[in-house]
């Protein structure tokens, strides 16, 4: 395991940590501490908020004076030094750097050297928090010499490894989504884009004259429409009684008018087809536009409803709206790909097939076909009706022999007149569809009926008035039936000839031409811009989804590694430096049993914690410490009534101070095994099966949750917002050149986003918002971790009881501490996320006003800073400094 106890890079706003201890570097590398200072100075910090947390050996403070002074080389800096002492040390030699009010020293006298050095990690994490750092620095400024020995009680709220891996996997899956090659719908799009998806014409162009009358296409359209108007006017004139009984239709030429309309429609269609083929490319050139004008197609200026400059902003709003709605990236990419396909101009040449469907040769041939004129209905029915009417006219006694056949003759004459004046015949006879009106059956039926009526009249001898009435009825019926047959025959012929179909075809061809003019010619550049932009964004989103799926965890070289160690992963997660990974690769401290369990003394820190109700309910067997740390705390438990005073003698026999441990030999760790996607990186792939359960230090209480109800949604929201932020930096390039936007590579920014989000998940279960974003209504820590903050509230609500904290020194060091009343300074800290949201503020009402509410973090608790006796700390002046 790496000997680094500080992060490779600080969290945003946190103090920059650097490790100057001898065991952190190769003994042969004399320049390693200077390099650590150089890297710490290279970390960007605000000029007025430069904070450094230095971990150093207590016996090397004088030798490292120049290194400490260099931290202020770029301006004023605040420095807190964690001086790690050996168990046998009884005095502290230090220089005036660091010195209050901008500096101070915390002397750690027990359990932080050799195999126990990993216990520094949670302490460094707490002190690096800017609010706690400043509060500790203020407290040290009120302590003589700025040197104190801390006592701590810290509660850590975090997620279990399984919960963290599961939440991360679910959040990434919700971000990327399954593969969607083709979207069935584009969905709702802004108005600027909707104009490109349908065949509608903008309202500002509805009154535009696309085909001027003086142009070729306009003249052909006008000729077709004039011929159709003439045909319609002639049809209206001949279909009534005047058309049959008068010479009103003498000068009319309905077949000729229809033929002229068909020929004009054919020419107009040919002109439109020529225009489609002429400018058939996806982007008409200037020459092609000129040729379109020669053919009578007048293109206007770009309408105000749409412009190229407004396409990318509308596409941006549409994309961000889809991402904000919670759609996975691949689903958004599929919709954008569908939008790209639908807005891509195919060119007007592709509309030739639609032109054939609208006005093909078959339709034109039907217009010029000669339809026959038929009137009178079925011939048998016409003969029977005429015979009956002739029979009525023939019942006049005597006169019936002539009146009956005369009525039949009248019906035949009217039928012949319909045939002569049929509307499908040109006056000159050039066009004639022929016809049949049933004059012969009418004459035959009339003669038979007339003779039968005369015979019946002779037999019945009806009165004159009855015979006259019958005659009048029969004559009127013959005329009316003839007019009816004429009108029905003309209407039937008109419907079969269907000149109105030419008018419909003319309108459809014109609409197709206007649609092509708008969407294929006028909007060609805009459609290309939209299609290329949507396609580029779709490819970017798919690439981002692929990067997220392939993401294995944060990783950069560790900045403070010891000799012979492999680079640690990037970021702040468990895959890099890990507060919980406190084993040294499964090894054991020399002379200590691997299965030795901690046994707190009756009055030690653990005993006091249990008495105060702070017993740890969680089984820490899966969060192993090294056995050396466990035994160290077991052997050095303080008596219950000793507290911070040495007035009561230690009942145990005094032990001789142990020898300072020798610097550890550099050990190369086992190769890091890459986990599966969504899992946590493991640094000990083959743990020692004989190693027993290890315990956390007595001053650290760890509470692990299985993830709250808002954890996955919060992570997904952070990732989605981050992706939207990445895209915001690409829209300018997409608008400038969407065709080359697909060459953009967002792998590194996306990896940085995943690193940052994963780092916050590791650091405080994503309770802190991403950099630059307001906290707003972000879920509280309880909803994210699933661990209630009641334990922290009870700890902070308690009185200033020394028994609640564990001194970070051995019992033999208690006589070094000052016993001046009121000299102890206390710092209480809680992450702001623990009192927000659903947990409410009720549980915090018992806390006092001196609680420091940190902006982020997973640690809460109490630090008590105890001054030292005046004869324990020796300040060495610069001229006295010599080689140690």
Q: What does the alpha-carbon distance between residue 73 and residue 62 come to, in Å, rounded to a whole number?
A: 18
Give the mean model confidence (pLDDT) for residues 398-410. Answer: 87
Percentage of the chain beyond pLDDT 90 is 28
Give the mean model confidence (pLDDT) for residues 364-370. Answer: 85
Residue 374 pLDDT level (bands cut at 50, 70, 90)? confident
Least confident range from 72-81, 433-442, 618-627, 728-737: namely: 618-627
8 A C-beta contact, residue 153 and residue 795: yes
Indicate the SS3 state at residue 448. Answer: helix
8 A C-beta contact, residue 365 and residue 259: no
Give the mean model confidence (pLDDT) for residues 19-27. Answer: 87
Class of residue 842 by CB neighbours under 10 A (exposed 0-12, middle 13-18, buried 19+):
exposed
Q: What is the reported pLDDT for 609? A: 35
pLDDT one-digit tens code per residue, 511-551: 999 988 888 888 888 888 899 999 999 999 999 999 999 99
Residue 181 pLDDT level (bands cut at 50, 70, 90)? confident
Question: Nearest-CA neighbor of 55 among 15, 94, 19?
Answer: 19
Phi, psi of 182 (to 5 degrees): -135, 130
Helices of type H across 98-215: 120-128, 130-141, 161-176, 191-197
Q: C-alpha 778: how far from its chain's center?
A: 19
Tokens of 738: 């969407």
Range among 392-396, 438-442, 543-547 with highest mean pLDDT value? 543-547
Residue 742 pLDDT level (bands cut at 50, 70, 90)? low
Q: What does the alpha-carbon distance between residue 37 and residue 16 come to, in Å, rounded to a whole number?
A: 10
Number of helices (H) and strands (E), helices first, in the chain? 27, 14
Residue 666 has pLDDT above 50, yes or no: no
Residue 848 pLDDT level (bands cut at 50, 70, 90)? low
Q: What is the largest CA-CA distance in the chain?
A: 165
pLDDT one-digit tens code per residue, 223-266: 999 999 999 998 988 888 888 888 877 778 888 899 999 999 99
Q: What is the reported pLDDT for 843? A: 52
What is the secondary structure of 745-778 as a DSSP string?
A: --HHHHHHHHHHHHHHHHHHTT-SPPTT---TTP
Rounded to two decimals, the pTM is 0.70
Q: What is the reported pLDDT for 800? A: 66
8 A C-beta contact, residue 744 and residue 547: no
**Count of positions (residues) in the chain:** 884
Tokens of 85: 């002492």
Strand-pair category, 873-875 with 435-436: unpaired
Q: What does the alpha-carbon distance between residue 85 and residue 116 come to, in Å, rounded to a whole number?
A: 12
Least confident range from 34-38, 456-460, 669-673, 725-729: namely: 669-673
* H or E segment to which residue 289 belongs: helix 286-294
Helices of type H across 498-589: 499-515, 524-550
Give the mean model confidence (pLDDT) for residues 202-215. Answer: 85
Residue 331 has pLDDT above 70, yes or no: yes
8 A C-beta contact, residue 533 and residue 735: yes
Tokens of 415: 């039928």
Q: What is the reported pLDDT for 304? A: 77
Give the mean model confidence (pLDDT) for residues 774-790. Answer: 81
What is the secondary structure of 693-757 as a DSSP string?
A: -----TTEEEEEES--TTHHHHHHHHHHHHHHHHHHTTHHHHHH-TTTGGG---HHHHHHHHHHH
Least confident range from 126-130, 223-227, 615-619: namely: 615-619
Residue 201 has pLDDT above 50, yes or no: yes
Give the mean model confidence (pLDDT) for residues 210-227. Answer: 90
Q: What does the alpha-carbon distance between residue 699 and residue 802 come to, in Å, rounded to a whole number?
A: 12
Q: What does the alpha-carbon distance between residue 795 and residue 829 come to, in Å, rounded to a whole number?
A: 11
Which residue has better confidence, 332 or 665? 332
CB atoms within 10 A of CB 326: 13
Cα-atom radius of gyration of the chain, to the nearest Å?
A: 50
Strand-pair category, 103-108 with 78-84: parallel
Give the mean model confidence (pLDDT) for residues 446-469. Answer: 85
What is the secondary structure of 625-656 as a DSSP string?
A: BPHHHHHHHHHTPPPTTTTT--SSPPSSPP-P
Q: Where are the domains of the chain?
A: 1-198+553-884, 205-369+503-545
Q: What does the alpha-carbon distance between residue 367 and residue 497 come to, in Å, rounded to a whole number?
A: 7
Beta bridge partners of 704: 158
Which residue has better confidence, 302 or 530? 530
Give the mean model confidence (pLDDT) for residues 707-729. Answer: 92
8 A C-beta contact, residue 847 and residue 793: yes
Question: Nearest-CA neighbor of 125 among 864, 856, 866?
Answer: 856
pLDDT one-digit tens code per residue, 31-74: 899 999 999 999 988 888 899 999 999 999 999 999 999 999 88
Tokens of 617: 């309910």
Indicate the SS3 state at residue 374. Answer: strand
Residue 598 pLDDT level (bands cut at 50, 70, 90)? very low
* Helix, strand and coil percent figures for the chain, each rounded to 5: 50, 10, 40
Residue 154 has pLDDT above 80, yes or no: yes
8 A C-beta contact, residue 783 and residue 765: no
CB atoms within 10 A of CB 420: 11
Question: Nearest-CA neighbor of 514 among 291, 342, 348, 270?
Answer: 348
Residue 579 has pLDDT above 90, yes or no: no
What mean pLDDT, rounded, does the chain reach? 78
Residue 639 has pLDDT above 80, yes or no: no
Q: What is the reported pLDDT for 796? A: 72
CA distances from 599 to 590, 596, 618, 632, 716 (A): 19, 9, 17, 10, 44
Taking the alpha carbons of 498, 503, 508, 512 in that order, is the dihedral positive or negative?
positive
Percentage of the chain beyond pLDDT 70 is 80
Q: What does the alpha-carbon distance between residue 702 and residue 617 come to, in Å, rounded to a whole number?
A: 9
Q: What is the reported pLDDT for 520? A: 86
């Amino acid at each position: 395991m790496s000997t680094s106890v500080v992060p490779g890079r600080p969290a945003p706003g946190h103090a920059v940590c650097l490790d100057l201890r001898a065991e952190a570097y190769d003994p042969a590398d004399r320049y390693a501490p200077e390099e650590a200072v150089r890297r710490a100075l290279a970390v960007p910090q605000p000029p007025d908020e430069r904070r450094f947390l230095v971990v150093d050996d207590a016996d090397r403070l004088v030798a490292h004076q120049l290194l400490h002074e260099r931290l202020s080389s770029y301006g004023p800096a605040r420095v807190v030094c964690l001086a790690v002492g050996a168990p046998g040390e009884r005095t502290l030699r230090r220089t005036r750097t660091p010195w209050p009010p901008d500096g101070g020293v915390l002397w750690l006298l027990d359990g932080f050297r050799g195999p126990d050095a990993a216990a520094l990690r949670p302490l460094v994490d707490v002190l690096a928090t800017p609010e706690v750092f400043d509060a500790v620095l203020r407290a040290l400024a009120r302590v003589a010499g700025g040197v104190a020995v801390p006592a701590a009680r810290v509660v850590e709220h975090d997620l279990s490894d399984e919960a963290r891996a599961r939440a991360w996997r679910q959040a990434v899956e919700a971000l990327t989504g399954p593969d969607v090659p083709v979207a069935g719908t584009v969905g709702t799009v802004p108005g600027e884009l909707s104009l490109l998806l349908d065949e509608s014409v903008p309202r500002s162009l509805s009154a535009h004259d696309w085909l001027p009358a003086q142009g070729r296409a306009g003249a052909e359209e006008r000729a077709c429409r004039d011929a159709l108007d003439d045909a319609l006017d002639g049809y209206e004139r001949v279909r009534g009684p005047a058309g049959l009984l008068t010479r009103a239709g003498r000068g009319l030429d309905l077949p000729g008018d229809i033929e002229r309309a068909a020929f004009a429609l054919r020419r107009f269609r040919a002109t439109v087809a020529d225009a489609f083929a002429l400018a058939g490319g996806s982007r008409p050139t200037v020459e092609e536009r000129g040729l379109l004008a020669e053919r009578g197609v007048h293109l206007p200026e770009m309408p105000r409803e749409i412009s190229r400059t407004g396409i990318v902003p509308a596409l941006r709003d549409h994309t961000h709206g889809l991402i904000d709605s919670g759609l996975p990236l691949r689903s958004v990419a599929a919709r954008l790909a569908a939008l790209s396909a639908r807005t891509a101009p195919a060119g007007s040449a592709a509309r030739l097939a639609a032109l054939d469907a609208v006005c093909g040769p078959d339709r034109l041939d039907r217009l010029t076909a000669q339809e026959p004129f038929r009137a009178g209905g079925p011939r048998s029915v016409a003969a029977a009706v005429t015979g009956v009417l002739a029979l009525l006219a023939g019942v006049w006694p005597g006169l019936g022999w002539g009146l009956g056949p005369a009525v039949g003759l009248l019906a035949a004459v009217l039928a012949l007149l319909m045939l002569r004046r049929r509307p499908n015949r040109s006056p000159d006879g050039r066009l004639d569809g022929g016809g049949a009106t049933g004059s012969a059956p009418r004459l035959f039926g009339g003669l038979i009926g007339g003779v039968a009526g005369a015979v019946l009249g002779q037999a019945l001898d009806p009165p004159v008035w009855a015979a006259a009435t019958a005659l009048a009825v029969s004559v009127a019926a013959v005329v009316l039936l003839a007019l009816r047959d004429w009108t029905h025959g003309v209407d039937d012929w008109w419907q079969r000839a269907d000149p109105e179909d030419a008018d419909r075809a003319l309108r459809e061809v014109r609409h197709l031409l206007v649609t092509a003019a708008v969407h294929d010619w006028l909007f060609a550049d805009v459609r290309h811009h939209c299609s290329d932009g949507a396609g580029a964004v779709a490819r970017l989103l798919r690439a981002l989804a692929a990067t997220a799926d392939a993401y294995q965890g944060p990783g950069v070289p560790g900045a403070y590694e010891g000799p012979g160690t492999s680079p640690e992963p990037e970021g702040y997660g468990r895959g890099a430096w890990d507060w919980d990974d406190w084993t040294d690769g499964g090894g054991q401290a020399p002379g200590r049993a691997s299965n030795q369990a901690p046994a707190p003394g009756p009055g030690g820190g653990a005993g006091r914690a249990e008495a105060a109700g702070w017993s740890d309910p969680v089984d820490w067997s899966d969060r192993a410490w090294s056995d050396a740390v466990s035994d160290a705390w077991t052997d050095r438990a303080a008596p219950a009534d000793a507290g911070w005073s040495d007035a009561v003698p230690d009942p145990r026999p005094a032990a001789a101070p142990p020898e300072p441990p020798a610097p550890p030999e550099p050990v190369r760790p086992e190769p890091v095994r890459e986990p599966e996607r969504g899992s946590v990186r493991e640094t000990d792939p083959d743990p020692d099966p004989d190693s027993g359960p290890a315990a956390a230090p007595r001053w650290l209480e760890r509470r692990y949750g299985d993830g709250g109800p808002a954890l996955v949604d919060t992570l997904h929201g952070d990732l989605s917002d981050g992706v939207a932020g990445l895209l915001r930096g690409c829209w300018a390039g997409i608008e400038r050149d969407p065709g080359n936007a697909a060459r953009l590579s967002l792998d590194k920014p996306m990896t940085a986003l995943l690193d940052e989000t994963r780092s916050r998940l590791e650091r405080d279960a994503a309770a802190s918002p991403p950099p630059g974003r307001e906290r707003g209504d972000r879920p509280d820590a309880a909803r994210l971790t699933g661990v209630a903050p009641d334990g922290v509230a009870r700890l902070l609500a308690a009185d200033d009881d020394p028994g609640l904290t564990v001194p970070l020194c051995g019992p033999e060091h208690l006589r070094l501490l000052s016993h001046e009343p009121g000299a102890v300074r206390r710092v209480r800290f809680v992450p702001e996320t623990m009192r927000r949201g659903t947990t409410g503020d009720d549980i915090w009402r018992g806390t006092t006003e001196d609680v420091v509410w940190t902006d982020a973090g997973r640690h809460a608790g109490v630090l008590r800073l105890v001054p030292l006796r005046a004869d324990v700390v020796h300040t060495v002046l610069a001229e006295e400094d010599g080689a140690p």
